[in-house]
Amino acid sequence: MLLLYKPETLTGWLLHTLFYVFGIIFVIVMLVVLSGPETPSGEDALMGVITIFAVPIGITLLIIQRLARRIALRSETSDDSP
């Protein structure tokens, strides 16, 4: 899921940076949630928080990754053309 290339364009660098910023936010939120205090209904609250944060951030990460990859492929093909 990591961006496994070096972006060549400004848009590529922006998407690359956004990907890692959202990824770091995702990891921090999950660490805070998972290390939080235990409550009697902790499992229900945990699943709610994971659903609220993980799903949108995960979808955003996938969209950013696909956009960055598409831009990278497009710039590779334009560099190869004579």
Q: Which token pair is 26?
A: 């995702």
Amino acid 4: pLDDT: 58
pTM for the model stands at 0.59
Query: Which pLDDT value is given to residue 79?
Result: 65
- Residue 17 is predicted with a pLDDT of 84
Joined together, the tokens standing for residue 7 give: 């972006």
Q: What is the mean pLDDT of residues 3-30?
A: 78
pLDDT confidence of residue 73: 79
DSSP SS3 for 4: coil
pLDDT in tens, 28-54: 877 777 776 666 665 666 677 777 777
- The pLDDT of residue 16 is 81
